[in-house]
A = this chain, B = another copy of it.
């Protein structure tokens, strides 16, 4: 089944917003076996939109539009589609009732133009909008299907998952499922990873393997097609195990779980507390740790020690170390980790000191040089890193590395 996605709206044509709807729909349609062959964006111009949609209905079997279902005069998508299908508009009773209830509950006066939102072409199949007012619309003609979804991503995604996917599976008798498992790796480059599993990538047909580079690290996606999720999992399992046996030491999570989540789970399960002494990361590591709901179980507090004075006074880094080795040194990182664990009374302490740039570098200490230390009952470890990128990238990479070190420390694995 060939699909064309049409995103409408002048703010897309003007480049005021980035189109994220197409990527979401394309990847999910692909997962259930539909090929997206074209994606088109057109503005709120009646004639151009009509030509684009008619052209799409010629070259694709399923055409899905997003946007242009709202209350304003610029919202024309469903009128264009109704005209193409030769239908008149009628009020969708259930959507109208939901809208009236909504305005009554919120105690807001409903402006007249809102009634446009609940108009649909006669005899259309309708998807209720559980996150907004305008319903989704499905029209079929000559074995082609024309679908209108709302433009706001939150409304579109929910309707896509809740209504459109089951509708398409049912309508096109899709029995198979596509199921993926993602292995999230860290500290291994894409090309090195590829050499380790190239034979698997080449020989696999079902499941297939793909490597994708993310800021958090490289991910390995294993995708299987089968009659049930259970069966797909059985196809994936031996490949997953083979990959683990080769590069398992680099895998920190499955299915894109953020590293701070993995670390948080371990800390909570083991009832271990953590504190951080952050210099070049400026609080970002603790902020990531506390992005996780419930992190107050294991984060008591941290110290951002930007100045040497704070390092000395609060973390008890000896002044002699700062004078002889410098603030960015293995020794300072070690004292910072040990100092913050003591000062905050936590089981584990993390110390990070480095040069995030663009200034501050010397011949011996370039931008991106970051020492990270983890301390606890297994002893103290320090890793020297040289990260590339801009200031904010170096900060992020340092926190990702620190989180991974905490993970390895908690899992009794080699931190170095």
Q: Please, which residues of chain B bring their CB within 8 A of the CB of A114?
A: none
> Which residue of B is nearest A24, CB measured?
B15
Interchain CB contact under 8 A, A13 and B41 = no
Spot the interface stretch: A74-82, A232-240, A288-296. Answer: A288-296
Interchain CB contact under 8 A, A15 and B27 = yes
A344 proximal to B (CB < 8 A)? yes
| Known contacts A293-B391, A300-B309, A309-B345, A39 near B12 by CB under 8 Å | yes
Q: Please, which residues of chain B bring their CB within 8 A of the CB of A345?
A: 309
Question: How many copies of this protein are present in the complex?
Answer: 2
- Could you mark each residue 178-199 of chain A with 1 if its beta carbon is under 8 Å from any beta carbon of chain B, else 0? 0000000000000000000000
The residue that A303 contacts in the complex, of B282, B285, B290, B303, with Cβ under 8 A, is: B303
Q: Please, which residues of chain B bring their CB within 8 A of the CB of A282?
A: 283, 286-287, 289-291, 295, 299
Q: Which of A13, A307, A356, A392 is most buried by chain B, counting CB atoms within 10 A of its CB?
A: A13
Q: Please, which residues of chain B bring their CB within 8 A of the CB of A307?
A: 296, 299-301
Q: Please, which residues of chain B bring their CB within 8 A of the CB of A20?
A: 18
A13 to B16, CA, bound (A): 22
A26 proximal to B (CB < 8 A)? yes
A380 proximal to B (CB < 8 A)? no
Q: Please, which residues of chain B bring their CB within 8 A of the CB of A24?
A: 15
A215 to B24, CA, bound (A): 21
Say how far A61's CB is from chain B's closest CB, in angstroms.
15
Q: Please, which residues of chain B bring their CB within 8 A of the CB of A300?
A: 306-307, 309-310
New A-B pairs, 10, CB < 8 Å, besides A15-B36, A299-B307: A14-B27, A14-B30, A15-B22, A15-B24, A37-B42, A38-B52, A39-B40, A282-B299, A299-B306, A300-B309
